[in-house]
Chains A and B, each alone.
Chain A
Amino acid sequence: MSEMIPVQIDDITCEVEKGTTILQACKCAGLRVPTLCHHPDLEVAGICRICVVEVEGMSGLQAACAFPIRQPIKVRTNSPRVRRARRVNLDLILSEHYGDCYTCTRNGTCELQDLAREYGVDRYRYPSTTAPKFRIDRSTAIVRDQNKCISCKRCIRTCIDLQQVSALETANRGHDVLIQTAFNKPISEVVCINCGQCINRCPTGALRSNMPNELIWQAIDDPEKHVIIQTAPSPRAAIGEEFGYEPGTSVTKKLNAALRRVGFDSIFDTNFAADLTIMEEGTELLTRLKKALVDGDSSVKVPMFTSCSPGWVKYIEHYYPEYLDHLSTCKSPQQMFGAILKTYYAKKIGVNPDKMVVVALMPCVAKKFECNRPEMTDSGGKDVDFGLTTREMAVLIKESGIHLKDLPDEDFDHPLGLGSGAGLIFGATGGVMEAAIRSVYEIVTGRPVPFKGLDVTPIRGMEGIRDAALTIENPLPEYQWLDGITLKVAVAHGTANAKLLMERLKEGTLDYHFIEVMACPGGCLGGGGQPIPTSPEIRAARARAIYAEDHELVLRKSHENPEINQLYAEFLGEPLGHLSHKLLHTHYTPRGRFFLEGI
């Protein structure tokens, strides 16, 4: 128990743990101190000077977010000095911000807009910026509009500290300060992994995802097009937040109903493709392990890394290209699904794949980059046409005049609409690993995993890196070579944690067999395309929703999914078979340390 310090904030007296910031103390005391550059996931900056408070005995005002309480203090949060400073600093920010609110994707979720309303701003105190000064920088995934940037540096702290990607940095000084890429190259040409975490933490509309909504409407409105939507597990646990539900409310079946009313012709579950991924990736793992452990084939690399997260894939391509052989060759569920839809399903329903438009509802911004990768065309054209984020889908639904809360529960379409609980938990960090363990262990031993209720709890949670060991005993005859072997697995979320693992791999101190990495903190449920705001609590609530839904399902193991077995029987043959190899597996591209290509 650390030392408790008495503090007086306005007329409230309380005790806080030594080192608590004034901001945290105010929260405990039930007082609201406005913030702008502060974010619960990020290092403290103390630069916007909106949260300033008076501390008795100190000459200037202090930033509440950055002031650790180390001795008894008296704080005033609502004095004339404080109100004046907050208002003037807010006015200074507003006068530099290109505020065309009605054409901004953050209209309604903008923290600067909220503050302006809260402080009753009804005019620009200083001459305002009337024309945009900067060109908009656009990649397939991310859009940067510096005109709306208020230099709070949340994006930089996200990119450098939280994700350790470092695609963005501060350039210049003083009033000329800009958030820039290396050598001011377009965002599409630098090490940006498209994780979109900066978007989730930008208080304004300076960062956003590249919205394909207009193109999707065109496809939906074209009677010749068969438009399919596949929905990933995480959006259903979060999209409710866009419609007034509490974080952690799963709206799977209402979402299905909404998508049907928006006009999608078929509604499928990406969990199905997640199950398919487990079949392929699990088989790949066993094949790799046999080659490495029994055959002594040194060309086979262990540990194997998951490849579902396109942010992680691009991260390793940039920063650890020499380890690309460790990545599973499996495409992500999104891309596997696209390839199956435009081949097997197109043939099954008699639709020309050219007339088929596959949209993927994803929690992810990097999925936009992924579906535009040149290698993702094994069906003959683009396997997936559009990656659509949870936020963007909410706009499509709202635009259709649909009230999510009033909709009935509806199911997915079949035969590709059945997903297991194992596929569902892909949405949470550790989920892919848990799904793989549930299936691989049972395939090898003929028995379910030795965990209560199939919950592989050691790899659940929000610790940055988690691991587990599972000893194989009495395997089935064909897996005798695994008898007595302890399988070691690890899970990391957020590329900063992935970096820690990669550095250990480089040192040679890593003895895992299989590692799951998700680029985003919390896994997909914390993806860059998820509703804003995000915080550890919100992500934990979404995870609870996903795990609760898994528990309610009868089907909880990928290899028991009858529609998967039907797909293999009717079309693919077997995991890692010829057709699987062609449609469901891919290869990777070594990239530069600073730029997309080259150095």
Chain B
Amino acid sequence: MKNEKKKILFGEFVTGAGLARALEMGAGKVVDEVKASKLRGRGGAGFPTGLKWELTAKQESDEKFVICNADEGEPGTFKDRLLLMEQPEKILEGMAIAGFAIGAARGFVYLRGEYIYLRKILEDAIVSMTERNFLGKNIQDSDFSFDVEIFLGAGAYVCGEEFALISSMNGYRGEPRNKPPYPSEVGFRDKPTVVNNVETLCYVPYIVTKGSEWFKEHGTQASTGTKLFSVSGDVKHPGVYELELGITVNQLLTEVSGEGAKSVQVGGASGLNVAEKDFDKPICFEGLPPGGSIIVFNHKRDMLHVLKNFMEFFVEESCGQCTPCREGNYRLLEGVKMLEKGECSVRYLKELEALCDVMKDSAKCGLGQTSPNAFLSIVENFKTEILYR
């Protein structure tokens, strides 16, 4: 990293400092501070975290829950895995602060099924934090008690969607639900629930200790803070990078030694394919999708093959509830296969692009609303390569 002072998560951290500060501030002030920081969800959708907390805090209920969404499944994403592996205490502290802010006494880490090997690390961290009274009863001699349990997912990508996640925790098929009501009103066990991404929760202790103004020194006006990027593909140095939001694709490529890229998949399979002409665009909530997955393709890559891979993923991972996602993704994959064989007419390709628009417009959840992104952007960027093979 060139600019050392711009690191947050990879900077210094003392377990418990954020929690202690939060207990001093009181729940209302914690919510205000997080709101003021303009922290937005790091899972990809970018919902303002402070607002989510405020909505949940407002609900009157005998029980509320905090869920840490560790169902990291977006193709090309592995930044939460790193946090779970190396910084579990930061996650747990973020959860405890969230619990304190909204009035919850229980939290759950919804751990991706394939990450079962990280369970032990998390469990040890819970034990260690409980021993030091950062979790458990009357945390740091306050009235606030907070326990964390681990809930293991079963390998469905769609369970990263918060309603599907809650549904699966409630013992049902992991399928998204209609909204409203939102989880802040009716969540786990029908109680108000905050669902936050692993990375989102990790920023919380910093915001509480160093203040929202300090946090806002990072990133852009609308996209504050830094972001972890999982960089893979045709680069010299793949890995997890902490970079400021608003960084351009070009800057990022320089950072990771990805010179000579033909295109970059920004935001994972459900993100956008960005061609060289757009490499000067920023990655942030007002720009290219900041989901965190960066897959770099060099000139040897067949973009239709890349697209097929993504579409196979979505056909496999759609929950199958709503028409646009269940049938739409299947039709798109079928279209890719027709393109492969040179059997797709220009007219039918237009039909499929219209289908993409309808999927984005009418699918029930984020999966179906974003799965056509790859199709649309790759077809747009590489029409000649795809059509005239």
Contacts and interface: CB of A to CB of B under 8 A. Distances in A.
Interface string A145-161: 00000010100000000
Interface in B275-331: 314-331
B317 A173 contact: yes
A68 B334 CA distance: 36
Interface in A27-48: 44-48
B61 interface: no
Main secondary structure of the interface of B (DSSP, over half): helix
B173 A170 contact: yes
Interface stretch (B135-143, B247-255, B359-367): B359-367
A174 B369 CA distance: 14
Interface stretch (A90-98, A238-246, A366-374, A579-587): A90-98
A60 interface: yes
Given A44-B178, A173-B316, A89 B361 contact: no
Contacts of B314: 174
A185 interface: no
A130 B158 CA distance: 31
Contacts of A63: 178, 364
A61 B156 CA distance: 25
A81 interface: yes
Contacts of A177: 320-321, 326
Nearest to A60: B361
Given A170-B173, A173-B317, A47 B322 contact: yes
Contacts of A52: 361-362
Nearest to B156: A173
Interface range, B side: 35 or more
Contacts of B180: 67-68, 70
A175 B330 contact: yes
A92 B320 contact: no
B155 to A, nearest CB: 11
B51 interface: no
Interface string A61-75: 101001110100000
Nearest to B175: A170
A39 B90 CA distance: 48
A175 B315 contact: yes
Nearest to A46: B178
A521 B346 CA distance: 53
Interface string A167-186: 00010111111000000000
22 contacts: A49-B364, A67-B180, A68-B180, A84-B357, A85-B362, A88-B354, A89-B323, A89-B362, A92-B323, A93-B323, A95-B331, A126-B334, A151-B320, A170-B320, A172-B320, A173-B318, A174-B329, A175-B315, A175-B320, A175-B327, A175-B329, A177-B320
A89 B358 contact: yes
Contact of A127 (B320, B334, B361): B334
Contact of A47 (B173, B358, B364): B364
A405 interface: no
Contact of B323 (A47, A125, A170): A47
Contacts of A151: 320-321, 326
Interface residues of A, number: 36
Interface in A166-214: 170, 172-177
Interface in B330-389: 330-331, 334, 351, 354-355, 357-358, 360-364, 369
A56 B154 CA distance: 37
A176 B319 CA distance: 9
Interface string B172-203: 01000010110000000000000000000000
Contacts of A176: 320
A88 B331 CA distance: 12
Contacts of B323: 47-50, 89, 92-93
B362 A95 contact: no
Given A174-B318, A175-B330, A67 B324 contact: no
B156 A88 contact: no
Contacts of B178: 44, 46, 63, 66-67
